[in-house]
Amino acid sequence: MTFTYTRTIRFQDTDAAGVVYFANVLTMCHEAYEASLAVSGFNLKVFFSNSAAAFPIVHASVDFFRPLFCGDSLSISLIPQKLQNDSFAIAYEIMIGEKVVAKALTRHVCIDAESRKRQSLSAEMGLWLQQWGE
């Protein structure tokens, strides 16, 4: 099942040319990720300040198919995929209406927040991957 997040592009998201600054698309994708966690029952305050585990992004990419402008209404769909016992990827599809305007990908690893060493994904993250994954 795919999770979809809707958002309108704001002036603050754009650059001097009036189009969305490329890095801000990743910010919007991260908003979608956070929203999917919240809908799945995660307490975001606890999740992002958890001293036992962290999920840093180790890779990110975006492909643009057309410019995005202030006022555009976006639908951001995400599909997570487990890669290994300690990592997952999230594929994002950004649409305006029925048209795909960009695609993004983030890869995350699960680490012990104190030692910074890789560790297995928690059962809670496993359930989130099952809920929204392919």
pLDDT tens per residue, range 22-51 = 999 999 999 999 999 999 999 999 888 877
- pTM greater than 0.85: yes
Q: Could you confirm whether 15 is annotated as catalytic?
A: yes
Statement: residue 1 has pLDDT above 90: no
**Beta-carbon contacts of residue 49 (< 8 Å; ≥ 6 apart):** none
The arrangement of strands across the sheet holding 87-96 comes to 3-8, 73-84, 87-96, 99-109, 57-64
- Tally of domains within the chain: 1
Question: Which domain covers residue 112, as residue numbers?
Answer: 3-132
What would the pLDDT profile of 56-112 be if each residue is shown by its tens digit? 999 999 999 999 999 999 999 999 999 999 999 999 999 999 999 999 999 999 999
What would the pLDDT profile of 2-11 be if each residue is shown by its tens digit? 899 999 999 9
Residue of 15, 63, 86, 112 marked catalytic: 15
The residue type found at 104 is A
Q: CATH code at 89?
A: 3.10.129.10
pLDDT of residue 52: 86
CB 128 within 8 A of CB 42: yes
